[in-house]
Amino acid sequence: MPAFAVVLSLLFAWALVSDRMARWSITAPIAFVVAGVVLTRGTDPAVPINLEAHSFEVAVEVVLAVLLFMDATEARDYERLGKSVGEGRLLGLALPASFALATLLGALVLPGTGWWLLAVCALVVMPVDLAPIAGFLRDARVPLRVRAALNIEGGFNDGLVSPLFLFCVANLATAHGSTVGELLWSVVKGSLLAVVVGSALGGGAAWAVWRAHESGWARANGLRTASLALPFLAYACANLVDGNGFVAAFVAGLWYATTAHAVAGDSLGLVHEVGELMALAVWFLLGKMAADVFADGISFRIVLYGLLALTVARFVPVVLSLAGTDFSRAERAAIGWLGSRGVTSIVFAMLAYVRLPQSDADFVIDVMCATVLLSVVLHGVTQQRIARWFARTRQTAD
């Protein structure tokens, strides 16, 4: 309860000073990470947080379900562009290549680490989350197709990765009993059930919302509550039938998005606002984890791995996958570089922490903290420079 009260107080305080902080390039993620470090560090912290409690695991899972639903609705919104922005290549070619390359780089930089643990680390640190560069996505100086490519990739990659992540974590967590085949079937079955649940709920909700709006039974603003309830409902219903609640929320968002965007008014506004508040709480928890990591010391090899994950493992597959498209060389480079890491990586690492043996869990947390904190700094510093470069290039062309 103290942590809950502190986070709410921070949210209120941030709302009062957010514009002023933006002038100093201090974003909400940076502010909440710093607050987490300051308030949770030490043996007698001002805000004690127990990362091992079962209620914490459930809360983290719900946060991820809501964020996946948000990602699905945001990604589908770019269908209005009427043409591909390279999302097929980014998700079908660059994404698996990035995971494979991150795993191989881990084997080189972190010798002696098991392959399953390296795979979990790669799946934690490679999904793109655009929270650290949110301003870049709204910057009109940047070509729309560059912003769309990043947003669609960020919207879909964590939903696609979550079943594989759970499979790899299960292999690490299960020392005896279940075979790889049994675990694989469990993940596949859970994903299939989730697709059925998410499709039924998302499709049914889309039809019901459209009918209610067209018949005049409900206004668009009143439908905001229905949109907010849907990701929680999809997650809960999928768990009732032993399905993957993350996949169910993501699929429900895909089905629901077209209708939600077609309905007049801001019917998705409330769920996005709640999701953003949840994300800020996650950034606060990152401060807690970072304080613990740096108090115990962090290996240079882990920092190097995080840097390679942000650069080589991301940049090379993306640039190569977009070769031959109508993206310019500079646009391909911008998409490859600005693959920031954020809430998705933090939540995946939290889930790994509560499910894995202690040594493996600590290792994953160290890798995630190094990678995400590096991303916040590197991408935060360079995003404005890239936007200004695009603006100068456009003026020269004109």
Domains contained in the chain, CATH given? 2-397 (1.20.1530.20)
pLDDT score at 301: 95
Is residue 265's pLDDT more than 70?
no
pLDDT(12) > 90: no
Confidence of residue 43 (pLDDT cuts 50, 70, 90): confident
- Residue 368 makes CB contacts below 8 A (sequence gap 6+) with 121, 124, 125, 289, 345, 346, 348, 349
Above pLDDT 90, what percent of the chain? 29
> Radius of gyration of the chain from Cα atoms?
21
Q: Where are the alpha helices (DSSP H) in the chain?
A: 2-23, 28-40, 54-77, 87-89, 95-109, 115-125, 134-137, 144-173, 180-215, 224-240, 245-262, 269-296, 300-310, 312-321, 329-337, 343-355, 358-397
pLDDT-based confidence at 159, cuts 50/70/90? confident
Which has more confidence, 266 or 374?
A: 374
Q: Please give the pLDDT value at position 70.
A: 85
Q: Which of 42-56, 248-262, 306-320 has the lowest mean pLDDT?
A: 42-56
What is the average pLDDT across 89-93?
A: 92
At 1, the pLDDT band (50, 70, 90 cuts) reads low
* pLDDT, tens digit (0-9, with 9 covering 90-100), for 92-132: 999 999 999 999 999 999 999 999 999 999 999 999 988 77
Q: Supply the pLDDT for residue 160.
A: 83
DSSP 8-state class, residue 325: S
pLDDT for position 202: 92
Residues 52-85 pLDDT 10s: 666 677 888 888 888 888 888 876 555 555 566 7
Q: What is the model's pLDDT at position 184?
A: 74
pLDDT per residue as tens digits for the range 279-294: 888 888 888 888 888 8
pLDDT score for 176: 46
pLDDT band at residue 272 under the 50/70/90 scheme = confident
Q: Is residue 277 scored above 80 in pLDDT? A: yes
pLDDT of residue 124: 95
Residue 351 · residue 60 · CB < 8 Å = yes
Is the CA virtual torsion 216, 219, 220, 223 positive or negative? negative
Classify the C-alpha dihedral 335-91-192-166 as positive or negative.
Answer: negative
Q: What is the pTM of this model?
A: 0.86
- Determine the 3-state secondary structure of 46 from DSSP: coil
Residue listed under structure tokens 């941030």: 14
Residue 22: per-residue pLDDT: 67
Those residues whose C-beta lies under 8 Å from the C-beta of residue 234, and which sit 6 or more positions away, are: 65, 69, 197, 198, 201, 202, 245, 248, 249, 251, 252
**For a pLDDT cut of 70, what percent of the chain falls above it?**
89
What integer pLDDT is reported at residue 360 of this predicted model? 92
18 vs 368, residue with greater confidence: 368
Nearest to 129 by CA among 115, 99, 150: 150
Reference 246, options 73, 61, 106; nearest CA is 61
Q: Is the pLDDT of residue 232 over 90?
A: yes
- Does the pLDDT at position 356 exceed 80? yes
